[in-house]
């Protein structure tokens, strides 16, 4: 049976390294489910695998789009499932790895059918947001759909706008369209979660931010600064440095914010993933146990 091994977990925990080991062990290929790694202009702040790692194991959906391109989870689902089907013709198992919760879920479970937005409604909501700002947009969503407000990334205007547009157009909450109906996939899915003690994880995250800064993250942010209004750049590591470049804080303050927001994002990822009872959890140094678990699952299901 064709098998997709899904390696997931919080930012900075070591998913990429484990995925590389698993890909070599199973003679497989890696499909990225990290939405920040899609963009070719970004590498340091998105922790793109090194050129050596990319050469040693085939990777997909790494730096395949420009920050100027419009790309969404629905397009990713279509393209990734097509690629998975093609790769299964000569490779089995395959690996999917990343921490972008919605992108992992869309491959494993599918996404709900959401109504198409009326262009006039979209223009109206976008114009209102441009005039009133993200805090007003957050309050509007809280008023219209308090349930979705509790789980959405409140710093992602694209997600907020979409939910408010649905509410305005239909008179119903965005949550009411999120049926969370799991779609059957024509392959087996084995989910491996990577996590560790919170204190150790936070230390790893802080050290990784320091390495990124040493490797030139500030220069990378300067190179895309002129496009800072794009949603693709509304992400941890860049928005804090944009604030520094705008004169809103010192460089040290920006770096501290990157660390704090990265830790906050890790907590959000874990909250999301822990709802999934199909995930088998391991620590980063348990590679042998992970391999044993995968082999056991593949034998059980055959």
The predicted-structure confidence for 77-114, as pLDDT tens digits, reads as follows: 999 999 999 999 999 999 999 998 888 988 998 876 67
The pLDDT assigned to 123 comes to: 81
Spell out the domains of the chain, with CATH numbers in brackets. 3-111+181-301 (3.40.50.300), 119-177 (1.10.20.140)
The predicted-structure confidence for 38-89, as pLDDT tens digits, reads as follows: 999 999 999 999 999 999 999 999 999 999 987 877 789 999 999 999 999 9
The pLDDT assigned to 183 comes to: 83
The predicted-structure confidence for 132-144, as pLDDT tens digits, reads as follows: 999 999 999 999 9
The pLDDT assigned to 302 comes to: 66
The predicted-structure confidence for 200-216, as pLDDT tens digits, reads as follows: 999 999 999 999 999 99
Contact 103, 76 (CB under 8 A): yes
């Amino acid at each position: 049976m064709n098998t997709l091994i899904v390696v997931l977990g919080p930012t900075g925990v070591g998913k990429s390294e484990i995925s590389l080991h698993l890909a070599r062990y199973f003679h497989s290929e890696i499909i990225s489910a990290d939405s920040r790694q899609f963009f070719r202009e970004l590498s340091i702040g998105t922790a793109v695998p090194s050129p050596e790692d990319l050469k040693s194991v085939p990777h997909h959906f790494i730096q395949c789009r420009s920050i100027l391109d419009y790309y969404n989870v629905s397009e990713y689902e279509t393209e990734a499932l097509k690629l998975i089907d093609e790769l299964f013709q000569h490779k089995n198992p395959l690996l999917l790895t990343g921490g972008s919760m919605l992108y992992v879920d869309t491959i494993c479970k599918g996404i709900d059918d959401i109504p198409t937005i009326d262009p006039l409604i979209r223009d109206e909501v976008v114009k209102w947001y441009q005039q009133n700002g993200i805090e007003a947009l957050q309050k509007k969503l809280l008023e219209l759909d308090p349930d979705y407000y509790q789980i959405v990334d409140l710093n992602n205007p694209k997600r907020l706008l979409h939910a408010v547009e649905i509410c305005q157009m239909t008179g119903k909450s965005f949550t009411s369209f999120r049926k969370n109906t799991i779609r059957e996939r024509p392959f087996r899915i084995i989910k491996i979660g990577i996590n560790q003690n919170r204190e150790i994880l936070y230390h790893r995250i802080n050290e990784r931010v320091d390495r990124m800064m040493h490797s030139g993250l500030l220069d990378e942010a300067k190179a895309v600064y002129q496009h800072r209004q794009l949603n693709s750049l509304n992400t941890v590591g860049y928005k804090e440095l944009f604030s520094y470049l705008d004169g809103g804080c010192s460089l040290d303050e920006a770096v501290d914010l990157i660390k704090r927001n990265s830790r906050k994002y890790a907590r959000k990822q874990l909250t999301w993933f822990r709802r999934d009872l199909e995930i088998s959890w391991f620590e980063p140094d348990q590679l042998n146990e992970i391999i044993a678990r995968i082999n056991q699952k593949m034998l059980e299901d055959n």
